[in-house]
Amino acid sequence: NEMISASDWIFRGLLGGMSNADNQSEVALEHCSKSNWGNDDAHSVANKTACKLVAAGLQYISKIQDTYKFDPKGNNNNLNPYDNQEYKQLVACLMLKRVAEEMKRRSKICNIDEGIETAFSAAPQIKSKHCNNGKPCFVCKLDEKYDDCHLDTAKEVKVKPKLESLLTGEGTTVNNTLTDLLKTDGKDASLCSRLQCLASKVEALKLQQSSQSNA
């Protein structure tokens, strides 16, 4: 039941990968350059930023690659790289999904669903490009739920509280990672930025209500 709580080092690595400028530049060109995302309105900037953060996280996950290592002295042996690689990628995916939820929670004015969904839709391509060491690679999917996932056969240890604990424990790093995203959405954002995001959010709600009434 310590599978996640003892993996704070993976979480820190994931957050570092998400906020790395080089990683963001690489994924931005390939996966986060939708034609309707300009640089002149807050809604587009927020979604592009969200996409870059998540896609950079997916790239970090796909670059987690283990190799077999045996040292007669027993130093840093890796006798089961297949399972170890899958474990690290799986745990990092759970963490990324939780961070994406936190991004949406904190983005109270800008609707960043499109940015997050665009990044996750590129997960198979990101995996194919970066996870190429011949071992099983995990495709991190947005629509897979973990709320009722347990770490033990007795179903006493839930995944979600473990992720919440990690998020709290690494609060400062999480805040630093999400700084750019919240520039267009936070209380210090300009009136114009907030208005642009609100207008886009209202339009999205109208479309959602219209589709539900026609269903």
Q: Rounded to whole angstroms, what are the CA distances from 211 to 33, 113, 114, 135, 201?
A: 27, 17, 17, 43, 16
pLDDT digits (tens, 9 = 90+) for 8-40: 778 888 999 999 999 999 999 899 988 788 777
Query: CA-to-CA distance for 106 and 102, rounded, in angstroms?
Result: 6
pLDDT digits (tens, 9 = 90+) for 135-188: 678 899 988 777 777 666 666 667 778 788 888 888 888 888 888 887 765 555
Whose CA is closest to 210, among 138, 202, 3, 165?
A: 202
Alpha helices in 37-137 (DSSP H): 42-62, 81-106, 113-121, 123-130
Q: CB pairs under 8 A, 24+ apart, for 189-197?
A: 189/42, 189/109, 192/42, 193/42, 194/42, 194/109, 196/41, 196/42, 196/43, 197/42, 197/43, 197/46, 197/109, 197/110, 197/111
Whose CA is closest to 120, among 50, 73, 169?
A: 50
More confident residue, 205 or 18: 18
Among 8-22, 53-67, 76-90, 124-138, the minimum mean pLDDT is found in 76-90
Count of structural domains, the chain: 1
3-class SS of residue 132: coil
Quote the domain boundaries for residue 95: 5-214
